[in-house]
């Protein structure tokens, strides 16, 4: 959403004095007294300067876009903001000598007027039970849980409530997701919350997350009525007035093409590497779709035919391999395949794994982090199943994903089914 500067001026201004100032000196950092959120706006109150080094002020909602304040009155507003979204409000002074360093940022969340939010009545109903939630920035099983860890762009954040949530629309309405890029630009992330059960919502961007970004999920679920259960109203706890934050690392997306038998690795949108590969042969085709790397890596691993149920003597193999990266719980790995060097880049011959030269597999092993993405196309195999590992949910068609969202489905019915258990008859993969 575009943000315009608005004019909100204190009625009693303070006039700047021309004394004691050198007009070529850059102005001092302004002293911000407060930043007061309002309906779709925020009011910055500051102490006006009293020398000629400052001739004006500029306000910013994110430290990237700056807007002129109307005067030096001690009050300046930002308008056309989104209610329920956290902004990093800042103020800087302007003068003949340039601009000052900014004061701030001050986290600020514009809010609708009290009583205007249908999910937040002025008088909370009784009897009531308070609802809490647990946030996991890498909820798709990446093997890391800390919000301090930079993640790959294929991570999927989960929000799990301690109660079954009847009013899922209220939850989605009071969660706003933004991304702040390395240059300071902030934008709301196109995507949707999907419910994988009645207590857990997952946010899936329409595209992968931007790299080198700070992701903020602003929750204003405190005091929101989230439905009724067993005769009691479920009310968001005060702890749900918060912003969940995590960071993405550089964007690393590897693209494997089954037609060319090549893997191309893109880092921040630029192609960095091209590797020859061999994929699953007829009857053991590698799955198409997006797969996400986790902490499940093994420097050395032995692949055995018995794990695939192959019992005939002619099918027997026991192959040690280096630099193994698991992609699915069904057994697809990226790994060195010294026994297959003659077919890399030429034809497929594995039991579903991605075979590579040792130096190439080691590069992937050393240079990938949890959340990095490997996409497969033209393999001749089926599409990745939603239940099949860390990347599964990325392969659900977008229209299907929207049926799991109260806002996206446009109806009272929300599909909360989840195929998160590995079927006993799932097709396995191997070396």
Residue 316 confidence class, pLDDT cut points 50, 70, 90: confident
What is the distance of C-alpha 357 from the center of its chain? 33
Residue with tokens 């130096």: 359
Measured at the alpha carbon of residue 196, what is the angle toward residues 190 and 199, in degrees to the nearest 5? 105
Residues of the chain above pLDDT 90, percent: 84
Residue 171 confidence class, pLDDT cut points 50, 70, 90: very high
- pLDDT, tens digit, 9 for 90 and up, residues 83-109: 999 999 999 999 999 999 999 999 999
- pLDDT, tens digit, 9 for 90 and up, residues 51-85: 889 999 999 999 999 999 999 999 999 999 999 99
Q: How many beta carbons lie within 10 A of that of residue 181, not counting itself?
A: 15
How would CATH label the architecture of 252-397?
Beta Barrel (2.40)
Question: Tokens standing for 193?
Answer: 């919350």
Residue with tokens 């490997």: 374
**CATH topology agreement for domains 4-108 and 128-247:** yes
Residue 16 confidence class, pLDDT cut points 50, 70, 90: very low
Tell me which DSSP letter residue 346 carries. T
The model's pTM is 0.90
Residue 4 confidence class, pLDDT cut points 50, 70, 90: very low
What pLDDT shows up at residue 418?
79
Rounded-to-integer distance, Cα 139 and Cα 16, Å: 54
Helices (H) and strands (E) in the chain, counts: 4, 29
Buried b (16+ CB within 10 A) or exposed e, 346-358: eebbbbbbbbbbe
- pLDDT, tens digit, 9 for 90 and up, residues 145-169: 777 799 999 999 999 999 999 999 9
Whether 11 has a pLDDT exceeding 60, the answer reads no
Q: Does 3.30.70.60 match the CATH number of domain 128-247?
A: no
- pLDDT, tens digit, 9 for 90 and up, residues 37-48: 999 999 999 999
Whether 15 has a pLDDT exceeding 80, the answer reads no
**Higher-confidence residue: 429 or 366?**
366
Contact call for residues 297 and 326 (beta carbons, < 8 A): yes
Report, as an integer, the average pLDDT of 259-285. Answer: 97
Residue 23 confidence class, pLDDT cut points 50, 70, 90: low
* Domain residue ranges in the chain: 4-108, 128-247, 252-397
> Phi and psi at residue 233, in whole multiples of 5°?
-80, 135
Whether 299 has a pLDDT exceeding 50, the answer reads yes
How would CATH label the architecture of 4-108?
Sandwich (2.60)
Average pLDDT, the chain: 91
Whether 178 has a pLDDT exceeding 60, the answer reads yes
């Amino acid at each position: 959403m575009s943000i315009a500067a608005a004019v909100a001026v204190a009625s009693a201004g303070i006039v700047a004095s021309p004394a004691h100032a050198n007009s070529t000196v850059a102005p001092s950092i302004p002293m911000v007294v407060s930043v007061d959120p309002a309906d779709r706006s925020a009011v910055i109150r500051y102490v006006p300067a009293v020398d000629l080094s400052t001739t004006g002020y500029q306000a910013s909602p994110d430290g990237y876009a700056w807007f002129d304040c109307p005067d030096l009155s001690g009050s300046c507003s930002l308008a056309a903001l989104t209610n329920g979204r956290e902004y990093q409000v800042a103020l800087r002074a302007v003068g003949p000598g340039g601009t000052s360093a900014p004061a701030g940022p001050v986290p600020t969340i514009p809010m609708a007027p009290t009583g205007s939010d249908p999910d937040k009545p002025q008088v909370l109903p009784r009897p009531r039970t308070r609802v809490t939630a647990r946030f996991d920035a890498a909820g798709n099983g990446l093997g890391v849980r800390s919000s301090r860890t930079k993640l790959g762009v294929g991570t999927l954040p989960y929000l799990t409530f301690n109660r079954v949530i009847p009013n899922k629309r209220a939850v989605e309405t009071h969660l706003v997701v933004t991304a702040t890029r390395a240059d300071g630009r902030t934008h709301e992330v196109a995507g949707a919350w999907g419910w994988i059960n009645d207590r857990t919502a997952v946010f899936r961007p329409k595209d992968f997350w931007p790299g080198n970004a700070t992701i903020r999920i602003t929750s204003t679920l405190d005091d929101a009525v989230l439905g009724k259960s067993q005769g009691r109203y479920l009310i968001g706890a005060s702890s749900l007035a918060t912003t969940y934050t995590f960071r993405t690392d550089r964007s690393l997306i590897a693209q494997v093409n089954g037609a060319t038998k090549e893997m191309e690795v893109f880092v921040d949108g630029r192609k960095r590497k091209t590797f020859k590969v061999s994929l699953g042969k007829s009857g053991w085709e590698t799955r198409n779709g997006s797969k996400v790397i986790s902490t499940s890596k093994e420097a050395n691993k032995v692949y055995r035919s018995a794990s695939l149920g192959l019992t005939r003597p002619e099918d027997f193999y026991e192959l040690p391999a280096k630099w193994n990266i698991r992609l699915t719980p069904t057994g697809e790995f990226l790994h060195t395949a010294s026994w297959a060097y003659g077919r890399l880049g030429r034809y497929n011959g594995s039991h579903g794994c991605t075979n590579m030269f040792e130096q190439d597999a080691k590069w992937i092993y050393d240079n990938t982090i949890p959340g990095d993405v490997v996409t497969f196309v033209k393999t001749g195999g089926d599409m990745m199943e939603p239940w099949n590992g860390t990347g599964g949910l990325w392969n659900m068609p977008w229209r299907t994903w929207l049926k799991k969202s109260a806002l996206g489905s446009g109806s009272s019915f929300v599909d909360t089914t989840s195929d998160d258990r590995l079927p006993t008859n799932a097709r396995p993969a191997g070396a």
